[in-house]
């Protein structure tokens, strides 16, 4: 099942975005930030669609070496879990980052502390969460399959565009994943472009998606890009 992220309609209120996407797909991922920040889960009661939630990420760092920042970031994630539990949706989140190579080990320890706390919070609320692989900036956690040990048994959201930037999409396609973010680029910049606008071969991507029985959403910047991507994927 390939759905669409509300990322393509961030210029509209959440309810309007949900209405437009519900006419196109049975799976909607809510970008839980800005105008689409979820404050009232009852909004979702009138929709007969499946949802995933992309947790807030701007200003967040669950791997911060600064304990107050780490704790605050975890608290925001737990608030997101509460909304997800009410909606009945799994959550996608970013795995954090380190600012200096010399702090990598300390940041990894902070991440593991956050992972334990988040695991307990998710279990208490019967919420599933997955970590997304990140782009090609050196300070991000979880850029390549070699980094998967950091997240342990937590599920992976395979971001095709990010993996392509790190030249490891084929390797990621051979690893287990629970969810997928679909967008294209030319291997240099994280453009979140429509499928077909970059240099990703989506035939093996879709084959891996079918084998995995994972869910997937198109995560692009405009509504036209989303509908174009759906058409291209339907033809594969």
Question: How much of the chain, in percent, has pLDDT values that exceed 70?
Answer: 100
For residue 38 the two structure tokens come to 């979820």
The reported pLDDT for the residue numbered 146 is: 97
Query: How far apart, in whole angstroms, are the C-alpha atoms of residue 107 and residue 184?
Result: 30
Average pLDDT, the chain: 98
Residue 40 φ/ψ, nearest 5 degrees: -140, 100
CATH of the domain at 92: 3.20.20.150
- Residue 139 vs residues 84, 132, 167, 231: alpha-carbon distances, Å: 29, 15, 17, 35
* Residue showing tokens 């998710």: 122
Q: Write out the H or E segment, with its range, that includes residue 156.
A: strand 155-159
- Residue 192 vs residues 2, 133, 155: alpha-carbon distances, Å: 16, 14, 22
The reported pLDDT for the residue numbered 1 is: 73
Inter-residue contact 157 to 92 (CB < 8 Å): yes
Cα 66 → chain centroid: 24
- The half-sphere exposure of 226 on its side-chain side, counting CA atoms within 13 A, is 26
pLDDT, tens digit, 9 for 90 and up, residues 177-195: 999 999 999 999 999 999 9
Model confidence at 150, in pLDDT bands (50, 70, 90)?
Answer: very high
pLDDT of 234 strictly over 80: yes
pLDDT, tens digit, 9 for 90 and up, residues 94-127: 999 999 999 999 999 999 999 999 999 999 999 9
The stretch 55-61 carries a mean pLDDT of 98
* Domain range for 24: 2-234
Question: How much of the chain, in percent, has pLDDT values that exceed 90?
Answer: 99
- Number of independent structural domains in the chain: 1
């Amino acid at each position: 099942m390939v759905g669409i992220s509300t990322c393509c309609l961030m210029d509209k209120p959440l309810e309007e975005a949900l209405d437009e996407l519900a006419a196109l797909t049975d799976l909607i991922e809510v970008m839980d930030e800005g105008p689409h920040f979820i404050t009232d889960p009852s909004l979702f009661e009138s929709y007969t669609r499946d949802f995933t939630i992309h947790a807030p990420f701007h200003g967040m760092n669950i791997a911060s070496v600064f304990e107050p920042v780490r704790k605050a970031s975890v608290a925001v994630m737990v608030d997101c879990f509460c909304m997800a539990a009410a909606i009945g949706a799994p959550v996608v989140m970013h795995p954090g980052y380190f600012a200096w190579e010399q702090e990598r080990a300390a940041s990894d320890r902070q991440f593991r502390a956050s992972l334990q706390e988040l695991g307990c919070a998710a279990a208490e609320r019967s919420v599933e969460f997955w970590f997304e692989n990140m782009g090609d900036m050196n300070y991000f956690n979880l850029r390549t399959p070699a980094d998967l040990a950091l997240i342990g048994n937590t599920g992976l959201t395979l971001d095709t565009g990010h993996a392509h930037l790190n030249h490891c999409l084929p390797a990621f396609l051979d690893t287990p994943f629970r969810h997928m973010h679909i967008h294209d680029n030319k291997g240099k910049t994280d453009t979140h472009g429509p499928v077909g606008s970059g240099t990703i071969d989506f035939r093996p991507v879709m084959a891996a998606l079918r084998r995995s029985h994972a869910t997937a959403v198109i995560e692009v910047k405009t509504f036209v890009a989303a509908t174009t991507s759906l058409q291209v994927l339907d033809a594969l």
